[in-house]
A = this chain, B = another copy of it.
């Protein structure tokens, strides 16, 4: 079930500029071997220890790559959005190692799956393709290091405030997430998030309701860490 739909081809070309720079040889082979897949919200894409057989190029939706500990605690490493792909998968394909994390669909996915074989074969033959893979690595490597930095150096109230500012949308900004989801994002526990949110609410910076946080005072959140909570 390869991709024989010219409309999908154009969509991919728009989202992944390397397809415009690459040789026509490469592109022909690419569209011949790629598979278009759909996955629904909540599905697990890849579990810890899996062997990666395909590199996904996202066309639609969001996936979350995270690490989870024995106790059920989690922390998000990074997310993938349309036009992006997954370094960890690429790294696993090129090195043959097992996948060291878990990947999950956050909102309905459409992705072009590039067979591992193809990835390996063309990395030496097409420079646009190679450059794309390298940009993947560089982008995510620094993202993961930033996760380390945040976890080790930043206070949790700052990290929660930053989360709210990043994930809010609309006006007034609203975040649709349970306290547990926020905790899993930041690598902490639900109780701690609940307590911090409560204290933000008591300061008048946010309003809490089931499964949702509404930001009332952006400036307060921006200042968390500078002033004394």
Q: What residues of chain A have their CB less than 8 Å away from a CB belonging to chain B?
A: 67, 69-71, 73, 75, 77, 87-88, 91-92, 94-95, 97, 100-101, 123-124, 127, 130, 134-135, 137-139, 141-142, 144-149, 151-153, 187
Residues of chain B within 8 A (CB-CB) of A97 are: 138, 142
CA distance A142 to B92 in the complex (A): 10
Cβ-closest 6 pairs across A and B: A95-B138, A69-B153, A152-B187, A91-B138, A94-B134, A75-B152
CB <8 Å contact, A153 and B91: no
Q: Which of these, B69, B130, B145, B151, contacts A77 with CB under 8 Å?
A: B145
CA distance A124 to B97 in the complex (A): 23
CB <8 Å contact, A152 and B153: no
List 21 contacting pairs A-B, 8 Å CB cutoff, sorted by A.
Answer: A67-B145, A67-B148, A67-B149, A69-B152, A71-B153, A73-B153, A75-B152, A91-B141, A92-B138, A94-B134, A94-B137, A95-B134, A95-B138, A95-B139, A100-B145, A123-B130, A137-B137, A137-B141, A144-B145, A144-B148, A151-B151
Q: How far is the CB of A21 from chain B (nearest CB, A)?
A: 13
Residues of chain B within 8 A (CB-CB) of A134 are: 91, 94-95
CB <8 Å contact, A151 and B148: yes
Q: How far is the CB of A22 from chain B (nearest CB, A)?
A: 13
Q: Which of these, B69, B142, B152, contacts A149 with CB under 8 Å?
A: B69
CA distance A88 to B145 in the complex (A): 10
Residues of chain B within 8 A (CB-CB) of A75 are: 148, 152
Q: Which of these, B69, B100, B142, contacts A100 with CB under 8 Å?
A: B142
Residues of chain B within 8 A (CB-CB) of A147 are: 148
Q: How far is the CB of A72 from chain B (nearest CB, A)?
A: 10
Q: Which residue of B lies closest to A75 (CB)?
A: B152
